[in-house]
Structure 1
Amino acid sequence: MWSTMKAGIELGTNTAGQPALLDLEELLSTRLLVQGNSGSGKSHLLRRLLEQSAGMVQQAIIDPEGDFVSFSERFGHTVVDAERSPSELQRIALRIRQHRASVVLNLEGLDAEEQMRCAAAFLNGLFDADRSVWYPMLITVDEAQIFAPAVAGEVSDEARRLSLGAMTNLMCRGRKRGLAGIVATQRLAKLAKNVAAEASNFLMGRTFLDIDMARAADLLGMDRRQAEGFRDLDPGQFIALGPALSRKPIPLRIGAVDTAGRSGRPVLMPLPDMPQAEMQDLIFVGGEADLLPMPAPSQSRARGTAELLREIEISGPLDTTPEAELDTRTEAEKQELLDSVYAEIMSDPDTAFRPAPSIYQDFLFHCRIKKLGTYGQDMPSFRKRLALARAGVSSDKGDDAWEQVLAVAESLPEEMQGVFLLLARAAREEAPCPTDEALANAYGSRSPSRGRWLLTYMSEHGHIRSEADFRGSRIVTIAGVNWRTLPGAPKAGPIKKVDPLRRAPMLPLPAARPAE
């Protein structure tokens, strides 16, 4: 029934009382989906699997309720609190892969949309790590329907898109990067199908709704009559199927665990034995005891940075003094602060390769810290200013020629505007033409060939004119204003000298000309 295991961990026992094993190496290649209604033992199952494999493979746990923080004490996992900016979470994730640390991403205290954004930034950081650190890693996502919802809910479309994209990458493309996704959900009907369908191993627990039973039976290859059996499963009992578990659906019971979460099964407690009159006095009669002191920070609920900043931003004045009611900063001072926010964001070398919506979240975070709100910078305004910043161009040039260049830039696709402005800046300053690599970076790519393609596109559409001198160096002229760059080598590095006797170029000719 159970295949020979290379690295088997014991989940529990089957109906014959024999150990029910899971092939950990096979799991790393095939992924796992766990489903069970509340009270079915789903979290207990995840805890058992993680405890048994903790010493064998690196782990990361996406924990929306803080139930797995106890792992840090028993198994040495590092707890990563999510009160951070998206870029900081991505950098932490990259270091986690470099140093092979097992972690718990604690999302407790954040609302659903903030949890989605934080999880997306963290997963993207793990996913985008360099090939040299693609070590095997289990990524466990509890309550996965929060991060990969089947339908749009009350969260913004942008947050849902970011989170769903990160979860899809994990389940669809994570295997080549050493990432093995384990997703657990209370209801299959609420989990995005393209995320659930990528799993090859299944552990299905107690389920009552027809739509969830039908999807579970479909995934396990069971008929309608057999699907009714999901209602009869006991807590802690699951139906297992998959190359890492069993070749046919079999029931198993999950074993005991060494750690415990904060939440558990409710237990009955005796009510207080108190006369009705005394209870009424406690409820309706006030006293000095009602004026409780402010709890110490360690006793109060930990709130996320985003929540605190939002409260500060929307709160009213604390008193009636003019200083509390009015923002005394001038427009120039606010603009200077806004410029410093952009400078801080652009100082991160990874900014060039991140999508604009992700960078926009960092922008809002820094604006809130400086009490700027968004200061008129909605998403379209931010994208325009970001294109200028990526090109190293100030937004206050103020002359007619720059206004014409900016108007031409707006006619280009949004992702190309920064590239065009980079060329315009070099031409205006009579600097050498940027290299293919510099153009690609302004576009958000690491591929120099992307820079060459961008030049071809803009030349064909009449925005620039690109030509090469006899040395093979490139010269770009900006249409309309006739600004012209100095010759620049397409590739980074010094230009080779010309043989003075032959007067022939020692570099290969540009791609636009036939090769010699």
Structure 2
Amino acid sequence: MKVGIDMGTTMTAGAAGTPAMLDLEELLATRLLVQGNSGSGKSHLLRRLVEQSARWVQQAIIDPEGDFVTLAERFGHIVVDADEHTEAALQSVAARVRQHRVSVVLNLEGLDAEMQMRHAAAFLGGLFDADRDHWYPMLVVVDEAQLFAPSAAGEVSDEARKVSLGAMTNLMCRGRKRGLAGVIATQRLAKLAKNVAAEASNFLMGRTFLDIDMARAADLLGMERRTAEMFRDLERGHFIALGPAMSRRPLPLRIGAVETQGRAGSPKLMPLPDTPLEDARELIFKPGEPEPPRMPVRRPSTSASADLLAQLSRPRPFVEPAAPDEPVIAPPAEEPETADQAAERQAAYEAVLGEVLADPEAPYRSIAVLYQDFLVRCRSRDVRGELLELPAFRRKLAAARAGAGQGTEENPAWEKATQVAGTLPEDIQVVFLLLARAALDHLPCPSDADVARACGSRSRGRARRLLTYMEQRGFIATRGGLGNTRSIVLPALGWETALGDPNADDTPESPGGDDLFASV
């Protein structure tokens, strides 16, 4: 079914005032990029598009400023306040959004830039990893896309930038087959990652002033660079459209009116109050009713540097200040750790790691968060957790998620498996160890749910894609059996799991000895 969306009126000579129609079905297949400086009318354009298509297609809006929450009352969008949910919870919410075909606004207002990136990535990941049965058409609108897909590293951590950029890349590059149509808006093309912008086939270019942005806009529209300065002359709400969903040639248009308004709105001039100078001074400096102290509120960030956490958790010896004429006496050197003390510390590590992994949400948290939890628990036990550095913690965590206990680590065969896993990419090491543990103990092949949980996801589809990737790279080989069962061979080790059902449910709470996720 072909549905035309009225975006406004055209401004071409001889045809000015005719409706500017956008083919919604074509848009779902080819995606859209909107560019314009602040105040050019990008948010107005997005609001027009969302309002006109609301009754035809499911929508999800990534809203960093809380500007689109006003759609809820008029068009029935559900507002999801990101600061009230964990990243894992947002993944589950996104999966249910796709399942029940509900239009939503993800309100990221109130979070700092890094937490916005993480929460948006989690939500987009949940949309992307939805089961195949729920791949209904969906318009995914991302305002201020340069925040979530930056072209260069900024003040946020590399981990946050990586997950956010990966989610945006999946949306624009691989989302079409899953029914996801990305509509991204940015103030500056130069700040938006090129591999994200390049996947859009439809463009709406608004007013911009910087030479580099005008040049990129002209390139995307197939215009000569000497004509790029026309973007400086565009009025607010005027855009140049190009793409199969609107026009095969650059088409000037003016965006039409909208039914809802953002909470902030456009700034309007208004006269200052006629307050005498002394009265104004008293209003400012004289306290009125008892006021609570105003302190800056900082939301906890889950991306704090693990190295910094280790330094902060390291106890510092107290040095008594010396008298002015007395030399400073250095603290005594620490005695070397004995073998018994090292063994006792390792046992404490195992116990603390078991407590960390006992949390049901632990499989879905980042390494940095788990390491922070580990260090805090070690300090409460008076154990020097910083001696287990982040790379070693990552390896120990991967082995624990694979179900390896202390007795397993003493097995030479398991030591060989960990050495082979160390040569693989980090994101598949835990899955490789999970399969190796099952093969070593002659257990049934882990199910897709087991594999998904091991790599920190609830999506069986992601687990199947990961196993396919490993098989394509020659890390594993899959053999089918009777009754839709399978076994997996590890060529580097020469091991093979027993036959198992890939569709079986995982049982993380099972207390039995065969639980691949038993805590260490």
Question: Is the shorter-chain TM-score for this pair beyond 0.5, marking a shared fold?
Answer: yes
Name the CA distance, whole Å, in 2 between partners of 1:458 and 1:250. Answer: 52
Asked whether the equivalents of residues 58 and 139 of structure 2 are also in contact (C-alpha less than 8 Å), the reply is: yes
Map of 2:334 onto structure 1: none
C-alpha displacement at 1:150, in angstroms? Answer: 1.1
Say whether residues 1:341 and 2:353 are aligned partners: no
With over 3 angstroms needed to count, the CA separation of the structure-2 counterparts of 1:13 and 1:184, relative to structure 1, is: same
Name the CA distance, whole Å, in 1 between partners of 2:274 and 2:470. Answer: 82
Name the CA distance, whole Å, in 2 between partners of 1:115 and 1:452. Answer: 32
The letter for the 1-side match of 2:283 is L
Map of 2:291 onto structure 1: 292
Name the CA distance, whole Å, in 1 between partners of 2:199 and 2:252. Answer: 22
Name the CA distance, whole Å, in 2 between partners of 1:108 and 1:488. Answer: 48
Map of 1:469 onto structure 2: none
Q: 5+ unaligned residues in a row in structure 1: which ranges?
A: 317-330, 352-357, 460-472, 494-516
Map of 1:7 onto structure 2: 3
Map of 1:35 onto structure 2: 35
C-alpha displacement at 1:441, in angstroms? Answer: 2.8
Map of 1:500 onto structure 2: none
For residues 445-473 of structure 1, give each alpha carbon's deviation from its aligned partner in whole angstroms, at most 9, with x where no partner exists.
437976996998699xxxxxxxxxxxxx9
Name the CA distance, whole Å, in 1 between partners of 2:33 and 2:22. Answer: 13
Asked whether the equivalents of residues 436 and 449 of structure 1 are also in contact (C-alpha less than 8 Å), the reply is: no
Asked whether the equivalents of residues 438 and 444 of structure 2 are also in contact (C-alpha less than 8 Å), the reply is: no
Say whether residues 1:222 and 2:223 are aligned partners: yes
Name the CA distance, whole Å, in 2 between partners of 1:262 and 1:72. Answer: 12
Equivalent residue of 1:446, what SS?
Answer: helix
For residues 406-428 of structure 1, give each alpha carbon's deviation from its aligned partner in whole angstroms, at most 9, with x where no partner exists.
8746754353466447645764x
Say whether residues 1:384 and 2:395 are aligned partners: yes
With over 3 angstroms needed to count, the CA separation of the structure-2 counterparts of 1:334 and 1:78, relative to structure 1, is: farther
C-alpha displacement at 1:345, in angstroms? Answer: 4.7
Equivalent residue of 2:96, what SS?
Answer: helix
Q: 5+ unaligned residues in a row in structure 2: which ranges?
A: 313-344, 456-462, 478-485, 503-520
C-alpha displacement at 1:86, in angstroms? Answer: 2.2
The letter for the 2-side match of 1:9 is I
Map of 2:340 onto structure 1: none
Map of 1:87 onto structure 2: 88
Map of 1:50 onto structure 2: 50
Asked whether the equivalents of residues 209 and 232 of structure 2 are also in contact (C-alpha less than 8 Å), the reply is: yes
Equivalent residue of 2:249, what SS?
Answer: strand
Map of 1:363 onto structure 2: 370
Say whether residues 1:446 and 2:481 are aligned partners: no
Map of 1:250 onto structure 2: 251
Name the CA distance, whole Å, in 2 between partners of 1:19 and 1:474. Answer: 60
With over 3 angstroms needed to count, the CA separation of the structure-2 counterparts of 1:458 and 1:209, relative to structure 1, is: closer
The letter for the 2-side match of 1:245 is M
Asked whether the equivalents of residues 423 and 433 of structure 1 are also in contact (C-alpha less than 8 Å), the reply is: no
Name the CA distance, whole Å, in 1 between partners of 2:238 and 2:487. Answer: 69
The letter for the 2-side match of 1:128 is D
With over 3 angstroms needed to count, the CA separation of the structure-2 counterparts of 1:82 and 1:166, relative to structure 1, is: same
Map of 1:276 onto structure 2: 277
Range 394-403 or range 243-252, more displaced = 394-403
The letter for the 2-side match of 1:391 is A
Equivalent residue of 2:229, what SS?
Answer: helix
With over 3 angstroms needed to count, the CA separation of the structure-2 counterparts of 1:223 and 1:424, relative to structure 1, is: closer
With over 3 angstroms needed to count, the CA separation of the structure-2 counterparts of 1:436 and 1:245, relative to structure 1, is: same
Map of 1:185 onto structure 2: 186
The letter for the 2-side match of 1:446 is R
The letter for the 2-side match of 1:81 is D
Q: TM-score, normalised by structure 2?
A: 0.72
The letter for the 1-side match of 2:54 is A
Asked whether the equivalents of residues 33 and 184 of structure 2 are also in contact (C-alpha less than 8 Å), the reply is: yes
RMSD of aligned alpha carbons: 4.3
Asked whether the equivalents of residues 435 and 491 of structure 1 are also in contact (C-alpha less than 8 Å), the reply is: yes
C-alpha displacement at 1:405, in angstroms? Answer: 6.0
Range 37-46 or range 271-280, more displaced = 271-280
Asked whether the equivalents of residues 238 and 253 of structure 2 are also in contact (C-alpha less than 8 Å), the reply is: yes
With over 3 angstroms needed to count, the CA separation of the structure-2 counterparts of 1:391 and 1:333, relative to structure 1, is: closer
Equivalent residue of 1:432, what SS?
Answer: coil
Asked whether the equivalents of residues 62 and 106 of structure 2 are also in contact (C-alpha less than 8 Å), the reply is: yes
C-alpha displacement at 1:247, in angstroms? Answer: 1.6
Name the CA distance, whole Å, in 1 between partners of 2:212 and 2:170. Answer: 26
Map of 2:124 onto structure 1: 123
Q: Percent identity?
A: 56
C-alpha displacement at 1:56, in angstroms? Answer: 0.5
With over 3 angstroms needed to count, the CA separation of the structure-2 counterparts of 1:371 and 1:57, relative to structure 1, is: farther
C-alpha displacement at 1:291, in angstroms? Answer: 3.2
Aligned length: 439
Equivalent residue of 2:33, what SS?
Answer: strand
Asked whether the equivalents of residues 476 and 488 of structure 2 are also in contact (C-alpha less than 8 Å), the reply is: no
Equivalent residue of 1:114, what SS?
Answer: helix
With over 3 angstroms needed to count, the CA separation of the structure-2 counterparts of 1:424 and 1:24, relative to structure 1, is: closer
Map of 2:507 onto structure 1: none
Asked whether the equivalents of residues 7 and 25 of structure 1 are also in contact (C-alpha less than 8 Å), the reply is: yes
Alignment of 1:421-440 (within 5 A): 423=436, 427=440, 431-435=441-445
Equivalent residue of 1:182, what SS?
Answer: strand
Equivalent residue of 2:27, what SS?
Answer: helix
Map of 1:74 onto structure 2: 74
Name the CA distance, whole Å, in 1 between partners of 2:186 and 2:470. Answer: 46
